[in-house]
A and B are shown apart, each in its own frame.
Chain A
Amino acid sequence: MAVASILKSRVEVDEWRNLVKARPRTLERRRRLANAAWLTAITGGFFLAVAPLVSVLWTVVSAGLNRMDAEFFTSSMRGVIGAGGGALHAIMGTVQITLASAAISVPVGILAAVYLVEYGRGAFARTLTLLVDVMTGIPSIVAGLFAFALFSLVFGPGMRAGIAGAIALSLLMTPVVIRSTEEMLRLVPVELREAAQALGAPKYRTITQVVLPTAASGISAGVMLGISRIVGETAPLLLVAGFTDSMNYNMFSGRMASLPVFIYSQWQNKGIDAAAYDDRAWSAALTLIGFVFVLNLASRMTSHLLTRKSR
């Protein structure tokens, strides 16, 4: 019996060897072909996706460098006709409006996400999640119209101010912050919350001392993502912050320029010396891309620093 079973397995082993040996040529060929086909498709897809990006970047950099000079970053367009002038007023406007939107969106977004993950149960939480989803898809012009209507109702029609732009943008940024914070909070292991609770920590202390710090790097990345989402928005700002050629440091009164609107207006209202307007538009575009780039870098750095601390 033992011999028979050994023989049988011998036979099987031989058959298997033959199979393996017999297959290589045809099978190997097919495998290689399939491999090559997939590699081509994947690489092709990659280049297809990256080509427009590279092209845009190349165009913006090459055209934008023309006016990357000191004057561009130190002066406004006040009284400038034709060549010269700068985008300082638009840069400052973008910085102020973006910071103000973040100041609104970050606390609201983080608190909302904490509610959804740590406290929210049942129909109310589900409705809230649905609303956040819907908000993520709001067209930016609608956010602009909302802020326009709000400020018209409160301060009378035609009110323009940087803060109105910030409120419109925060409407776009908040759902991004909620979503990404929510995801990061859900990644914090239940064991950590239980460990904190088992130490006799009240729930809110568990959240502020354990859950949020553990998720900090992810949350900061989400905030940066939210900022990148709004920093290039044009339509709402055009509507409620308006445009000006002059510096305006006051968020609460008067029109306030911003980089996207600056680009738009330079492009749209060219003077006699059209090239000067084009150059300023391209340089402003390059500055904006630089902004987003720096933000991304900063987000990577903060999350790197924060995660390294935990290792």
Chain B
Amino acid sequence: MTTATAVIAASQVDIANFSASYGSTTAIDDVSLTIPASSVTAFIGPSGCGKSTLLRSINRLHETLPDTSSTGSIRLGGTDVYGTGIDPVVVRQRIGMVFQRPNPFPAMSIQENVLSGVRLRHHRLSKATAEMLAEWALRSADLWGEVKDRLGKPGGGLSGGQQQRLCIARAIAVQPDVLLMDEPCSALDPVSTVAIEDLIAQLRREYTVVIVTHNMQQAQRVSDQAAFFNTAGAGLPGRLVEYAPTERLFSEPAEQATADYVAGRFG
């Protein structure tokens, strides 16, 4: 016998009727979609359609900017992250994020960067645990081989692609359920991009990955399902146009706008 409510995976993200604004401009309007656990979901669409805003709303980073607001709900494993009594800091501890530009902490060494999430949360680590955790995170980010001999050196000395993988290591060192990536490759060269894409393919086994990308090929290569957002014009709210398994979204889009966008006719 099945119950009415299906079991919700701990790291599934349900977005329902969600809107977010900067002051009086609505950046993303009335979005509903379900991001399944342990898979890669791509957000695509032209610039300014609110992909970053929606992504930053999932870990409640949107509200840290002055004069911003949002309505609707975003559930992580069934719990509304915007519910009363929910501490945004705790939400962010379960939802990691990687930004467009690699941003390792300049005042910290490579190892300190990897462990920064843990230390920022006030947890103390023994030296042995710290080393183990750093090695595990760096291995997971496919960076261990390149940095194992210079863990004490500043992260700023690495190449852009290495810095971005360091940021990924930093994000997964705190073992989040969800990993948000906002155009993680757009500041990187093609070789580093391939490295990050390979990494995403590995990460999807353990994490729910949401990636914003402008690169159609990348979306097709890395994602299991894709959401196409669009806006009627600059300054107008972005809307979810179509959400489907990636293969179907690209091969037989239901909407004309999606077809035009994935074919490169605008955006």
Contact = CB atoms under 8 A, between A and B. Distances in A.
Given A200-B121, A210-B107, A309-B107, 6 more contacts: A192-B103, A200-B89, A200-B92, A210-B120, A213-B105, A310-B154
Contact of B120 (A194, A205, A216): A205
B170 interface: yes
15 contacts: A121-B66, A195-B97, A195-B99, A196-B116, A199-B96, A200-B94, A200-B120, A200-B174, A201-B89, A209-B120, A210-B105, A214-B106, A306-B107, A309-B107, A309-B154
A197 B92 contact: yes
B117 A199 contact: yes
A156 interface: no
A311 B157 contact: yes
Contact of A194 (B64, B90, B108, B157): B64
Contacts of B174: 199-200
Interface string B114-138: 0011011110000000000000000
Given A191-B103, A310-B156, A311-B156, A198 B120 contact: no
Interface of A: 121, 189, 191-192, 194-202, 205-206, 209-210, 213-214, 216, 306, 309-311
Contact of A202 (B66, B89, B103, B117): B89
Interface centre among B92, B106, B116, B156, by most chain A C-beta atoms within 10 angstroms, is B106
Given A121-B66, A194-B99, A309-B107, A199 B120 contact: yes
A310 B107 contact: yes
B101 interface: yes
A195 B121 contact: no
Contacts of A195: 97, 99, 103, 105, 167, 170
B230 to A, nearest CB: 26
B46 to A, nearest CB: 23
B92 A199 contact: yes
A199 B64 contact: no
Place the interface of chain B in its size category.
20 to 34
Given A205-B120, A210-B107, A200 B101 contact: no
Given A191-B99, A209-B116, A311-B154, A198 B61 contact: yes
B49 interface: no
Contacts of A197: 61, 64, 92
A198 B93 CA distance: 7
Contacts of A200: 89-90, 92-94, 117, 120-121, 174
B65 to A, nearest CB: 9
B219 interface: no
B257 to A, nearest CB: 31
A51 B107 CA distance: 41
B81 interface: no
B97 A198 contact: yes
Contacts of B61: 194, 197-198
Nearest to A212: B107
Given A199-B92, A200-B174, A310 B106 contact: yes
Contacts of B106: 192, 214, 310
B103 A201 contact: no
A199 B92 CA distance: 6
Contacts of B105: 192, 195-196, 210, 213-214
Contacts of B157: 311
Closest 9 CB pairs of A and B: A200-B93, A201-B120, A213-B107, A199-B117, A198-B97, A310-B106, A200-B92, A191-B103, A195-B103
Nearest to A214: B107
